[in-house]
Amino acid sequence: MKEENALIRIVDDDASVRDALVYMLEQEGFDTVAYASAEEFLVNDMPSRPGVVVLDVRMPGMSGTRLQDEMIARRIDTPIIFLTGHGDVDMAVKALRKGAYHFLQKPVDTDELVRTIRECLEKTRCGLTAEEAREAIGLLTPRERQIANLLLQGVPNHGIAERLNLSVRTVENHRTSLYRKLRVNSYEELKSLLCGWKI
């Protein structure tokens, strides 16, 4: 995903933190929007716009972790980077298991936050949302799924042909088809898209 197409959402009840993060990220060239609460985010955000949510854990009303649960329930797939002033390891582990991209301590190191946001955007650079990726994976035939899994294990075309008792040309045709369905153009894009997905 290109940075100029991405929107970085800041969700934090502390106005000084919101203002500082917006200023810092805009200086780095990011398009940003700030919300004072989880509820405000849910009412006003446009999930169709790709990007990242930089989310405070502890807020009045709906907490950051409750917002994560609500986003999952609503199938809002925007990646989350959590910020917390409390060293709650168990909370971090649970949030990461639910799909959060990263967990940073407050006061956040600005270089680390920018680096983390850029890494997150890079991992979704293929341009598909998680929902679109799910739908695309659903289009794969059983044979294409087999080949995708072997590709992700680093098996070359001729090795896949041997394992599946196919010709190399047949493997190449299946590979071309699955690339087209998943809208990727290279092995690196395939690996980035399918990282964490069960094929």
**Each residue's pLDDT tens digit, 66-119:** 999 999 998 888 899 999 876 667 787 888 888 888 999 888 898 999 999 998
Q: Is the pLDDT of residue 2 over 60?
A: no
Which residue is it, tokens 């909370």?
Answer: 91
Reading across the β-sheet that carries 102-105, which strands appear in turn?
31-35, 7-11, 51-56, 80-84, 102-105
CA distance 190 to 199: 12
pLDDT at 1: 46
| End-to-end CA, the chain | 22
Rounded average pLDDT over 10-16:
96
pLDDT digits (tens, 9 = 90+) for 14-61: 999 999 999 999 999 999 999 999 999 999 998 888 899 999 998 999
Tokens of 88: 């709650």
The distance of Cα 88 from the centroid of its chain, to the nearest Å, equals 23
Secondary structure string (H, E, C) spanning 9-29: EEECCCHHHHHHHHHHHHHCC
pLDDT digits (tens, 9 = 90+) for 133-156: 778 888 899 999 999 999 988 899
Cβ count near 177 (within 10 Å):
16
Q: What angle do CA 120, 35, 37 make, to 5 degrees?
A: 105
